[in-house]
Amino acid sequence: MAPLVGLFLLFGVPAWLNDRNLADLEDRFLAYPLPPDTNFADYRTEGSIALRGNGNHCDYQVRITLSTSLSEEEVVRYYDAAGIAGVEAERAPLRVYFERSSDKAADGNMKHFIVELYDSTDPGLDLRCH
C-alpha cells in the first residue's frame, strides 16, 4: 500500500502545485481592472493547464469574455499595456479576440470579445504537461 501512496504523492503533488499556480494566475487576471465602458459578458472564467504544441512544458491559459462599447483598437491598446504577472514570468502575454459573427451584440453598441492570458513553465512531474 505504501508504494501506491508514494506514487500518488509523487505525481499528485506537482499537479496540485500547478493547479494552485493556475488559480493564482486567474486571481491576478481578474484583479486587473476592466477597460472603461466594459463589462463581463458572462461571469465564467475558463482556466486550463495542458501541453499545447510541441515540447515538454506546462501551458497555463485563462480566458474571460467581455462586452464593450470601445473600439477594437482601444481595447487592444488597453490590454497591450497590461502588466499582469505570469506564473514565473514578470509579465504574461495577453491575446484579444473579437467576435466576427456580428459587429454588434444584441445589447446595442456593445461588442463581445475574449481576453486570453497565457504562460508556460517547466512541467516537472505533472503528467498533463508531457
For 42-84, give the DSSP string. Answer: SS--EEEEE--SSSS-EEEEEEEEEEESS-HHHHHHHHHT---
pLDDT digits (tens, 9 = 90+) for 43-84: 899 999 999 877 789 999 999 999 999 999 999 999 999 999
Q: Is the pLDDT confidence value at 5 over 70?
A: no
Cell 472603461 sits at which residue? 36
Count, in order, helices (H) and strands (E) of the chain: 2, 5
pLDDT at 7: 66
The whole-model pTM stands at: 0.86
For residue 92, how many other CB atoms are within 10 A of its CB? Answer: 21
Predicted confidence at residue 108, as pLDDT, reads: 63
